[in-house]
Chains A and B, each alone.
Chain A
Amino acid sequence: MDLDERELILEAQKGDESAFEELVYRYDRKVLALAVSYTSDEEDAKDVYQEVFIRVHRALPGFRFESRFSTWLHRIVVNVCLTYKSRWQNRTHESLDAMAEEDGERPGFDPVSSEVPSDQKALSTEISQHVRAALGMLSPQQRLVFTLRHYRGYKLKEIAVLMNCAEGTVKKYLFTATERLRQRLRPVFQ
């Protein structure tokens, strides 16, 4: 941690709100980017962003420099993502499960249509919707690991630190996530 950041944190811990603001500004674009990738929804992403920095603000006086500030912050991001009840995810689960039940299938059955329009742009939009729907069907852990690895480029070792679990567990999440995505998106590939 550079001295400048340490000073900022110490000042923010003493109640200097401009120091807290500076800390927020240093990291918030990255936090919001991760939230957007994870939630696939700007409104949800803003909720996650807000919850993260409210928790940071509340917990900062207890930060003891035992880890890097960025690691501590990203652990909070991970916790918020894992516990966040997404409005969009709820809608997706409800609608897709309802669709599956209407079709006489078990809930969670692949809802992806194999019919794709010929127009390239429409095709790309539809594929994005399928990917988004498929991601919405993953568990929060699987989805977070996939988001962090695929969209944000974190190594699995780093993800294990952030999620406070063994690297092997993270590997399992990634495997399960790709398996489920593979099953759900197979009709799109064909």
Chain B
Amino acid sequence: MRHQKLKEWIPLLAYDELDDDQKYLLEKHLAQCADCRQQLEEVREIQQVAGTAGEPTDALLEEARRELRIGLRHQPGQRWGWFSNWNIGWLVPSLQTAAIGIICLAVGLVVGSVVYRQPAGVGPSITSPVGVQLPVSPGNISIGNIRFIDADTSDGNVEFTYEATRPVHIKGSVNDPAVQDLLTVALTEGQNPGVRLRAVNVLSTDQLKQPDDAVKGALITALKMDENNGVRKQALTALQNFPFDNQVRDALLFVLNNDTNPAMRIAAIDAIRTERYRDPEVLRVLEDKMHTDGNEYIRFRSRAVVQEARQQ
């Protein structure tokens, strides 16, 4: 067999991809060919220096999942409910209601300011696609994302679009569903961790007489997904005000299984312990954690809770 062909088999030999006949032929050739022996040696050195692949850390996986969730949410036509057992699907109707309300309010304010402050036809104006006359001097409207459609001024006109937002002042009862909707949006969508923390603090107040499923869903989402430890911890505390149903139980078990912060896992065990820790699913997870958790104290706590449950 030709030298070149046999040479191509060398990496296959190193990676154990030759059948017995091929191996025999190549080994016979290697006994006679110093060049190929040298090549085999170098391929084996490559195998050695290339090393072995490590597994991704839990933190990296968690980060990737979080970014995926955000990425999927921004897909065209994407439903809001990805990771629906994290209960963010409920946000759709409430978000729509809140958004429509805010838009109507903003449009009303804008139209009002035009009607009462600036006579129509006075000064330059811009026509929005829906025909609302917007003032050039926008008062407290914040303008952004200006995009030119036609920047050619040869005919004396210019055409562009922009986004106008106006701050909306809300004062109302924490038991008002509209207020709760906005707070849950702030908790799950707020970019600023301080805002999310304040939102979760408000949602965990004793004044909340009839916390609904939407609030619970937002707290569960924050508990599982928020990147800020303080927000997750406060969400866990707030959830303890809710009946310990399967949703709450699953959220706590999720924390126990997935949260990389040991303090959160300990808080989850404590929350479970004070509730329904004899639940078979809870016991199964705790029994697993008492052997597998990387944190010695968590293994100890899990074992203690399991023993306590067995004794009762």
* B55 pairs with A175, CB closer than 8 A: no
Knowing A21-B83, A32-B60, the reply to whether A54 touches B11 (Cβ < 8 A) is: no
Pick from B63-71, B105-113, B171-179, B264-272 the stretch touching chain A.
Answer: B63-71
Q: CB within 8 A of A182: which of B42, B64, B65, B67? A: B42
A31, chain B: closest CB distance, angstroms: 9
Known: A32-B56, A178-B14. 19 other contacts (CB 8 A): A17-B79, A28-B61, A29-B56, A32-B61, A36-B53, A37-B53, A45-B64, A130-B49, A131-B49, A131-B50, A131-B51, A150-B47, A150-B50, A151-B52, A156-B12, A171-B8, A174-B11, A178-B46, A188-B49
Residues of chain A within 8 A of B81, CB atoms compared? 17
Q: CB within 8 A of A49: which of B15, B51, B52, B64? A: B64
In the assembled complex, B145 has its CB within 8 A of some CB on chain A: no
Residues of chain B within 8 A of A172, CB atoms compared? 8
In the assembled complex, A33 has its CB within 8 A of some CB on chain B: yes
* B11 pairs with A128, CB closer than 8 A: no
Of residues B14, B17, B56, B68, which shows the largest number of chain A Cβ atoms within 10 Å of its Cβ?
B56
Assembled-state Cα–Cα distance A15/B81 (Å): 9
Q: In A121-161, which residues have CB < 8 Å from any B CB?
A: 127-128, 130-131, 135, 149-152, 155-156
Residues of chain A within 8 A of B11, CB atoms compared? 174-175, 177-178
* A171 pairs with B17, CB closer than 8 A: yes
Residue of chain A at shortest CB distance from B38: A182
In the assembled complex, B39 has its CB within 8 A of some CB on chain A: yes
Assembled-state Cα–Cα distance A123/B86 (Å): 47
In the assembled complex, B281 has its CB within 8 A of some CB on chain A: no
- Interface size of A by CB at 8 A reads 45
* B75 pairs with A57, CB closer than 8 A: yes
In the assembled complex, A93 has its CB within 8 A of some CB on chain B: no
Residue of chain B at shortest CB distance from A177: B11
A-B contacts, 6 listed (Cβ < 8 Å): A17-B82, A29-B56, A54-B71, A150-B47, A174-B12, A189-B45
In the assembled complex, A78 has its CB within 8 A of some CB on chain B: no
Q: In B2-52, which residues have CB < 8 Å from any A CB?
A: 8, 10-12, 14-15, 17, 39, 42-43, 45-47, 49-52
A87, chain B: closest CB distance, angstroms: 15
* A21 pairs with B84, CB closer than 8 A: yes
In the assembled complex, B89 has its CB within 8 A of some CB on chain A: yes
Q: What are the 5 A-B residue pairs with the smallest beta carbon separation, nearest first?
A: A151-B53, A18-B85, A17-B84, A178-B11, A37-B53
Q: How many A-B residue pairs have CB under 8 A?
A: 112
In the assembled complex, A106 has its CB within 8 A of some CB on chain B: no
Knowing A20-B82, A33-B56, A171-B17, the reply to whether A186 touches B42 (Cβ < 8 A) is: yes
* B64 pairs with A28, CB closer than 8 A: yes
B49, chain A: closest CB distance, angstroms: 5
A77, chain B: closest CB distance, angstroms: 13
In the assembled complex, B103 has its CB within 8 A of some CB on chain A: no
Assembled-state Cα–Cα distance A182/B65 (Å): 37
In the assembled complex, A165 has its CB within 8 A of some CB on chain B: no
Residues of chain B within 8 A of A98, CB atoms compared? none
Per-position 1/0 for A169-190, Cβ under 8 A of B: 0011011011001100110110
Assembled-state Cα–Cα distance A178/B42 (Å): 9
Knowing A32-B60, A175-B11, the reply to whether A54 touches B39 (Cβ < 8 A) is: no
Assembled-state Cα–Cα distance A24/B69 (Å): 11
Knowing A28-B64, A181-B46, the reply to whether A17 touches B53 (Cβ < 8 A) is: no
* A50 pairs with B67, CB closer than 8 A: yes
* A178 pairs with B49, CB closer than 8 A: no
Residues of chain A within 8 A of B52, CB atoms compared? 151
In the assembled complex, A58 has its CB within 8 A of some CB on chain B: yes
* B85 pairs with A50, CB closer than 8 A: no
Q: In B75-97, which residues have CB < 8 Å from any A CB?
A: 75, 79, 81-86, 89
Residue of chain A at shortest CB distance from B41: A189
In the assembled complex, A94 has its CB within 8 A of some CB on chain B: no
Assembled-state Cα–Cα distance A151/B85 (Å): 34
Assembled-state Cα–Cα distance A136/B286 (Å): 44
* B8 pairs with A175, CB closer than 8 A: yes
B72, chain A: closest CB distance, angstroms: 6
A156, chain B: closest CB distance, angstroms: 5
Assembled-state Cα–Cα distance A102/B8 (Å): 34
Assembled-state Cα–Cα distance A188/B49 (Å): 9
Knowing A21-B83, A57-B75, the reply to whether A46 touches B53 (Cβ < 8 A) is: no
